[in-house]
Amino acid sequence: MKKVLKIISISLLSIFALLIIIPFAFQGQIKDMVKRFINDNVNAEVAFSDVNLSFIQSFPQAHIDVSDLVITNYAPFKDETFASVKNIAFTMSLKELFKTTEEAPIIINTITIDEALLTLKTDKFGNNNYDITKEAPDTSTGSQPSNFAFSIEDYSINNSALTYMDLLSKTTIHLTELNHSGHGTFSAGLSELNTNSEAYISFSLDSTNYLNNNLLKLDALIDLDLALGKYTFKENKGFINNLPLHFNGYVQQFENGQDIDITFENPESDFKAFLAVIPKNYSKNVETVETTGNFKVKGIIKGLNSEETIPNLDIQITSNNASFKYPDLPKKVSNITINTSIKNTTGKADDTYVAIETLNFKIDEDVFKSSATIKNLTKNMLISGNLDGVLNLAHITKVYPVDLENELSGILKGKIKTNFDMNAIETNAYERIKSSGSASISNFVYASKDIVNPIEISQANVTFNPGTVTLNSFKAKTGQSDISATGTINNLLGFLLSNNTLKGNFKVTSNLFKVSDFMTEDTSNPESNKTTSSNESLKIPAFLDCTISADARTVIYDNLTLKDVTGQLIIADQQATLNNMQSRLFDGALAISGNVSTKNDTPSFSLNLNATDFDISKSFNDLELLKNLAPIAKILDGKLNTNIVLSGNLDQEFTPDLTSISGDALAELLATRINKTSDGLLSKLDNSFEFIDFQALDLKDLKTKLSFANGKVSVKPFDFNYKDIDITVSGSHGFDKTVDYTAVLNVPATYLGSDINRLIGKIDDQEVNKISIPVTANISGTYANPSIKTDLSSGVKKLTNQLLEIQKQKLLNQGKDKVNDLIGDVISSNKTKADSTKKEQNDAVEKVLTDIIGNDKKTDSSASKSTTDAVKNVLGGLLGKKKKDTLN
């Protein structure tokens, strides 16, 4: 007995070992089999990472796993992924593995698909990306039939998703969290299939969402007649969210399509079933809701579904005198009447229509009535509708558990009729948009985290006309700002129902418009407001295409107060263009034209500013741009005319990025003087030039031209006077407050004090009154801490040369013998007067000059050097240096 047990044990172990080892031997054959099946049946590029065979996992059947399967389309959907599957598992009899291609087809018993992502797509030309199965071969020509067959008893699809997109009909369906399983035998002529399905569905048609992540369930027992291709619903129950639906009828497959004959209805008629259709995220716990009245859905789908036809449809959704009230909310919705039908009587998809004959309800004493029809669903949709009612917006959260970020308030009234086709909306064919009626809203309050203050609309009235909507009145307030507006909107329906821009013309008036009232609060700095987060710039909405004529008595922007603001603002293509905007500012007049664009990642601007009679001190102290263009101007009192042309980028707070600005400016100063305000640069200049009182400068009619780029302002040379002193200034400064300027002062000799005047008096010639000395001042460093250096060399040399030249000419013209004798003595020794050089003549004149001005007692040092030293001493003192020497 022990021997028998031992033999059995060894045999079982051997068999078990073989079951583990043999699959490795057949691994290559299995891969070939899978590839052969794919090549014989699929017209697409297919890839997978691995194929595994096991005799243990589904014993006594073989178990095959295909991992990471990806199917990619050929043209016209080239390189688009049709399907991706994490894992596909097959089971089959062991003997099926050993069949050759010449034997009977290989039979697969079960299929399990895990984490499949499937995309079904129809392009605008009618091509389908799912037409990838190869046509069955014609056996009459000798071709071999497919060598696979299915005798499935069980199958399942787990945790998968499906997307269907039809660009022709603009239809999109998304199925997510799809789980489906079936149990039956497909190989038998007559059999049953027991299925369980669950998924979340979203459905949109022509950009309108009809279902949004609604739960679908279907448990169905289906009779299978594989010989006739007929599938009959026996016992079944489906759910849309929590709304139950029962199905009856059949679907039969033909070569040209499917013959469908199905009826369905909800078995219960309580109005609570209507709330059950609404997704749970929005309807909350409907089990506790008090309802009255009924709600019924029933329908018939009957006819041939083919490429040319669809089944006839007759679907009815009705409710009469219903109501509902949530137990935790104070108000209820009553007098609910719904009468809606979806029909098609011809089998042509274009003839399908939706008729909402009645959709009425009442909240308190406010009654809301509406009706609509939608035709030609698959092509150019035709829509007509009527709306007549009153809605207190504050009641919405009191009757329905909707979570709103901010509480609504206001009374909405409307009586509107409309008739249009979608093509007219998309192409702005206003003549085909027939609308009439009016709508109004009063005491509406809108609050959001995107704005600092709630917007309170006290009144807004619109009239609907064919093709246009007239804004008869609009009055609103936010913070301290008030707005009134009138105007026209050309395509309100296009904006609401499609992706069209909002076009219109408006006239806006305001007594006070404070820009900060419309900006979000910067939590990082409670003293400032800004419109965006730290990493995102404000964007001009792309959907706006409008012209606004503005008239505001007072506009406050940052620390600026603009009076009597008028102008035109054009918004289009994410660009705002200012035309002829005028205002009173800084006791003068301001005119602005230009644009601001947010089309690119970095906002940009281009402006032309023209200022007339600006108060210089106020403007250059309060306006950041002017303060950076000419910081020294803040010490001036008087008026300014200027024209500034500039462009550059804006930062995230819509403030100009100074490093990016380029342009030029022309400035004219009117009746201007320097005030007594302490200023670092002015103090340094006062200390450097004792003969100029800078506070007494008269800069009237001064004109200068500036250009700016790369963070620097360059000033073209400009001239002005202080008494008889001509001054020329040029150079540049940076927006970082660095300065690099040169000032050349031509100082008359008579300003040089008693020492020089005594020196000039001895010359006794009227020409000396015309002598001026150029003094160059180089200004560098920063505006707050400037460095001023003066260049005396050119002034000393010029004065010395002028004095010598005048005296020489005077003596030569008088023809004094003494001069001639002196010159002769100097240039004698083998040279005649005619041969004397200019240097020798100058030296002689200098000697004479030395005698005349009292230097004959000095040693033999050069008279020119003495004169030069005297000039240096005088100029040094005048330029703020301590005098060391004076002339006798």
pLDDT at 233: 87
The HSE-up count of residue 322 (CA atoms within 13 Å, CB side) is: 24
Residue 839 reports pLDDT greater than 50:
yes
Q: Which of 120-124, 324-328, 701-705 has the lowest mean pLDDT?
A: 701-705
> pTM for the complete prediction?
0.62
Nearest-angstrom CA–CA distance, 337 and 360? 5
Among 544-548, 684-688, 842-846, which range has the highest average pLDDT? 544-548
pLDDT at 811: 60
The whole-number average pLDDT for the span 157-186 is 86
pLDDT at 874: 53
Q: Which of 501-505, 568-572, 670-674 has the lowest mean pLDDT?
A: 670-674
Residue 860 reports pLDDT greater than 70:
no
The burial class, CB within 10 Å (0-12 / 13-18 / 19+), for 447 is middle
Nearest-angstrom CA–CA distance, 201 and 198? 10
pLDDT tens per residue, range 303-337: 998 878 889 999 999 999 999 999 889 999 999 99
For residue 342, which amino acid is it? I
pLDDT at 189: 65
Residue 342 reports pLDDT greater than 60:
yes
H or E element at residue 728: strand 725-734
Nearest-angstrom CA–CA distance, 224 and 186? 8
* Closest residue by Cα to residue 113 from 90, 133, 81: 90
The burial class, CB within 10 Å (0-12 / 13-18 / 19+), for 715 is buried
Residue 463 reports pLDDT greater than 80:
yes
Contact between residue 348 and residue 309 where contact means Cβ atoms under 8 Å apart = yes
In the chain, the percentage of residues whose pLDDT exceeds 90 is: 22
Higher pLDDT, 681 or 546: 546
pLDDT at 534: 46
pLDDT tens per residue, range 712-736: 888 889 888 887 888 888 988 888 8
List Cβ neighbours of 135 (8 Å cut-off, separation of 6 or more): none
pLDDT at 849: 46
Residue 766 reports pLDDT greater than 70:
no
pLDDT tens per residue, range 78-103: 889 988 999 988 887 767 666 655 55
pLDDT tens per residue, range 775-785: 888 888 888 78
Q: Which of 67-81, 220-234, 336-350, 827-841 has the lowest mean pLDDT?
A: 827-841
DSSP helix, strand, coil percent of the chain (3-state; round to 5): 25, 50, 25
The overall average pLDDT reported for the chain is 77
pLDDT at 379: 79
Contacts 24+ apart (CB under 8 A), 334-337: 334/361, 334/362, 334/363, 335/360, 335/361, 335/362, 335/367, 336/271, 336/293, 336/360, 336/361, 337/361
Contact between residue 124 and residue 77 where contact means Cβ atoms under 8 Å apart = no
pLDDT at 132: 80
pLDDT bin (cut points 50, 70, 90) of residue 550 is very high
In the chain, the percentage of residues whose pLDDT exceeds 70 is: 71
pLDDT at 551: 95
pLDDT at 234: 85
pLDDT bin (cut points 50, 70, 90) of residue 867 is low
Among 49-63, 208-222, 282-296, 384-398, which range has the highest average pLDDT? 384-398
pLDDT at 424: 83
List Cβ neighbours of 18 (8 Å cut-off, separation of 6 or more): none
Nearest-angstrom CA–CA distance, 582 and 611? 10
Q: Which of 131-135, 307-311, 819-823 has the lowest mean pLDDT?
A: 819-823
Angle between helical axes of 753-763 and 793-814 (0-180°, round to 10): 20
Among 13-27, 166-180, 743-757, which range has the highest average pLDDT? 166-180
| 148-166 vs 106-122, strand pairing mode | parallel
pLDDT at 751: 67
DSSP per-residue codes, 605-670: EEEEEEEEEEEHHHHHHH-HHHHHH-GGGGGEEEEEEEEEEEEEEB-TTS-B-GGG-EEEEEEEEE
pLDDT at 735: 81
What is the SS3 assignment for 84-100?
A: EEEEEEEEECHHHHHCC
Residue carrying structure tokens 């008028």: 566
Nearest-angstrom CA–CA distance, 539 and 221? 56
Nearest-angstrom CA–CA distance, 724 and 746? 9
pLDDT bin (cut points 50, 70, 90) of residue 278 is confident
The whole-number average pLDDT for the span 654-660 is 81
H or E element at residue 194: strand 190-205
pLDDT at 10: 42
pLDDT bin (cut points 50, 70, 90) of residue 566 is very high
pLDDT bin (cut points 50, 70, 90) of residue 633 is confident
Largest CA distance in the chain: 166
pLDDT at 521: 47
Nearest-angstrom CA–CA distance, 498 and 422? 8
pLDDT at 100: 56
Residue 222 reports pLDDT greater than 60:
yes
pLDDT tens per residue, range 234-266: 878 888 877 888 889 999 988 888 899 999 998
pLDDT tens per residue, range 431-449: 788 889 999 999 988 776 6
- What are the CA-CA distances from residue 176 to residues 115, 210, 246, 841 (Å)? 11, 16, 23, 110
pLDDT bin (cut points 50, 70, 90) of residue 651 is confident
